[in-house]
Amino acid sequence: MTGYILALDQGTTSSRAIIFDQEARIISQGQYEIKQSFPRPGWVEHDPEQIWETQLAAARDAIDRSAILPAQISAIGITNQRETAVVWDKFTGKPIYPAIVWQDRRTAGICEELKLKGLEEEIASKTGLVIDAYFSATKIAWILDHVEGARERAAKGELLAGTIDSWLIWKLTGGEVHATDVTNASRTMLFNLHFRAWDDSMLNALNIPRSILPEIKMSGGQFGIAKEHWFGASIPINSVLGDQQAALFGHTCLEAGSAKNTYGTGCFILMNTGTEAVVSRHGLLTTVAWGIGDEMYYALEGSVFVAGAAIQWLQEGLGLIQEPASSEDKAREVEDSEGVVVVPAFTGLGAPYWDMYSRGAIFGLTRGTTAAHLVRATLESLAFQSRDVIGAMEKDAGMPLTELRVDGGAVRNDLLMQFQADILGSNVTRTDYSETTALGAALLAGLTSGIWTKEQLLTFNKSERVFTPLMESEERERRYFAWQDAVSRTMGWEKH
């Protein structure tokens, strides 16, 4: 029997591979950690060769453990950390510099220069992004500027550049294919959303030759054939998606108005806006959700900087809990937070506020405040921050949230999920799969391969539990107003 899908999930801390069967069930997997390097404050790097070697090893492990033949795998789907950039020699395949990771801030100066040139509005309208070191274009420019001879070699056509998906595709196909998909391209600050192509004025602004960049393809389509010697069979690569878009697809948020929230160290929230690229006026990013056939689907995206990291702070910084999982039991020791509000702006505020000078604060303390109140208020901060982003999405898109589907470590906390539903006034659906990102890459590869129809996709990743709002609307708005008031008091704090 054929119809198995191999999903390659290349993340910030590990390379994973999962094989799914015809019912989209996991049958085997492999995983290897990858090393992060911090050569200077604010710099974060990966070894591209280690990324490739660990991803290859993880895939081989998954195949070995699956009890199926490599020839039974119909397709490969790739999902990856999105904004990490690699530049390599076109002929030897050797990287000319370590991969600069999405978290890296070294190109802040380049971003300031772009702002001084007055390019903010043009970049926002063309790419849907804000000027920030987060995105990969300035990382590529930095490598070309700082590696001796790189500019000259790039001009001669001797170098290639891309995000992690492009690096993996190039390696898998034996250097035959240099390609990326529309979701990863949309995170570079070089991709024109309206023309679906690299933008000449953006390339000129950063002096990046078009010739070193990958061909842009739709997310669902053939990206080449993985060579037989890697896995024991030639396998087509039939989907590529950035990790957050893959999670949106894995949650089967295929209709406009559907959204997902991944609760990790931060929160990553995406709302499907359909075939319209909605330009945000409320501090969000416009991004490509995926491209299938001739149709491109778009999403609004907002990131919360501190989510799970706030729960880690309760454990490691304050010693109020023994482990993150015990936060729910601790919070249940009290009926509610009794007016305590925690704003975990440890590194400033992300969407929709974008205040780098905001700092964390606790409000509403009384003599009766206990550790349980602080824990409960910290959990509630994750839900409040998520409502901030989703509220901005609803305003930008002009459509209400139909359902929030959730994944990530914190979603096992029933108290948090119930409060999230309460403070949103919308259903929150926790799904069966914890591996939603890999599932998304697999589902799109299967759809492209003809294994599943779009209607069949909706039968996968069913809800494990739906949390419905129980809080009265008056109480909901009173609590949210108190949150917004607290946030406003933290803004600009670092300037004092």
413 annotated ligand binder:
yes
The reply, when asked if residue 378 is annotated as ligand binding, is no
Residues 6+ apart with CB under 8 A from 456: none
138 is in an annotated binding site: no
- Is 408 assigned to a binding site? no
412 labelled binding-site residue: no
The 3 state secondary structure assigned to the chain is CCCEEEEEEECCCEEEEEEECCCCCEEEEEEEECCCECCCCCCCEECHHHHHHHHHHHHHHHHHHHCCCHHHEEEEEEEECCCCEEEEECCCCCECCCEECCCCCCCHHHHHHHHHCCCHHHHHHHHCCCCCCCCHHHHHHHHHHHCCCHHHHHHCCCEEEEEHHHHHHHHHCCCCCCEEEHHHHCCCCCEECCCCEECHHHHHHHCCCHHHCCEEECCECCCCEECHHHHCCCEEEEEEEEHHHHHHHHCCCCCCCEEEEEECCCEEEEEEEECCCCCCCCCCEEEEEEEECCEEEEEEEEEECCCHHHHHHHHHHCCCCCCHHHHHHHHCCCCCCCCCEEECCECEECCCCCECCCCCEEECCCCCCCHHHHHHHHHHHHHHHHHHHHHHHHHHHCCCCCEEEEEEHHHHCHHHHHHHHHHHCCCEEEECCCCHHHHHHHHHHHHHHCCCCHHHHCCCCCEEEEECCCCCHHHHHHHHHHHHHHHHHHCCHHHC
Other beta carbons less than 10 A from residue 464's beta carbon = 12
Answer yes or no: is 166 a known binding residue. no
Please tell me whether 308 is known to bind a ligand: yes
Token representation of residue 154: 């790039």
**Is residue 322 part of an annotated ligand binding site?**
no
245 is in an annotated binding site: no
- The answer to whether 273 is annotated as binding is no
80 is in an annotated binding site: no
Residue 83 among known ligand-binding residues:
yes
| Residue 16 annotated as part of some ligand binding site | yes
Separation between Cα atoms, residue 205 and residue 119, nearest integer Å: 9
Tell me whether residue 12 is annotated as binding.
yes
List residues forming the annotated binding site for glycerol: 82-83, 134, 243-244
List residues forming the annotated binding site for ADP: 12, 16, 265, 308, 409, 413
List residues forming the annotated binding site: 12-14, 16, 82-83, 134, 243-244, 265, 308, 312, 409, 413
List residues forming the annotated binding site for ATP: 12-14, 265, 308, 312, 409
List residues forming the annotated binding site for sn-glycerol 3-phosphate: 12, 82-83, 134, 243
